[in-house]
Amino acid sequence: MGTDAILMLDDVIAGYGKMTILHGTSFTVRRGTITTVIGPNGAGKSTVFKTVFGMLPARAGRIMFDGRDVTNFTPRELIARGICYVPQGRNIFPELSVLHNLEIGGVAAPAGFDLAPRLAAAMDRFPVLRRKAHQQASTLSGGEQKMLEVARGLILEPKLMLIDEPSIGLSPILVQELFAILTDMRARGITVLMIEQNAKRALEMSDDGIVLELGRTRIADSAIRILADERIGQLFLGGGLEQ
């Protein structure tokens, strides 16, 4: 594992029941970067994230994080080591307040963890959450709920954030705002590994890209080179990177 690598998958095999989805997936994520994973439906993108985060067991292969083998660690162990995961869709506690949802982000914190300043920092970063701190989370718009999920993931100041399809259901303005937040996270040293339906937009803001096909890494390269590769659009995105 190179000194600039924070995450490495080495020939990882995983799946559901008798179905194998990842057929020896390998790639490296560089520290302090934004990396976008693209590929057709069924390529195994979300399965990669679930396997990295310990929600799905790796049947073979190795997952290295920050210089340590973390293959099949539990989500709680991985959170403690600096990985957070924002899955696709809405994953909040709708009947709880915005503040209580944020506080849940500190559940896996080690002993002696001071939650108050982290909550204050999260609400400084997302002013709408401060304004609505005592409202039920269900009253937030879809975009505000996604920001709540991201803010909750940042409570423990992770080294790596896995975020799956963050722009689904968001207006163009909110997508722009969310992408700006992810860029700011990179500037503060948080590595971001993202799956995103708006592949062209995501790659334009990314450092690197990974193209998956049928559970294997087809291409791992700089985002600029992937955007310039006409084969990517033809093979994986219905004729172009315009969607």
Q: pLDDT tens digits for 106-156? A: 887 777 788 889 899 888 888 899 999 999 999 998 888 988 999 998 888
Q: 58: which residues sit within 8 A by CB, 6+ positions away?
A: 12, 13, 14, 51, 71, 72
Contact of 206 with 197, CB cutoff 8 Å: no
Q: Which domain holds residue 23?
A: 1-82+159-243
Contact of 70 with 63, CB cutoff 8 Å: yes
Q: Is residue 87 part of a domain?
A: no
Q: 11 with 73, same domain? A: yes
**C-alpha to C-alpha distance for 92 and 96, rounded to whole angstroms:** 9
pLDDT bracket for residue 3 (50, 70, 90) = low
Give the H or E element holding residue 212: strand 208-213
Residues 61-85, mean pLDDT to the nearest whole number:
95
Domain end marker among 109, 125, 157 = 157
Q: 19 with 124, same domain? A: no
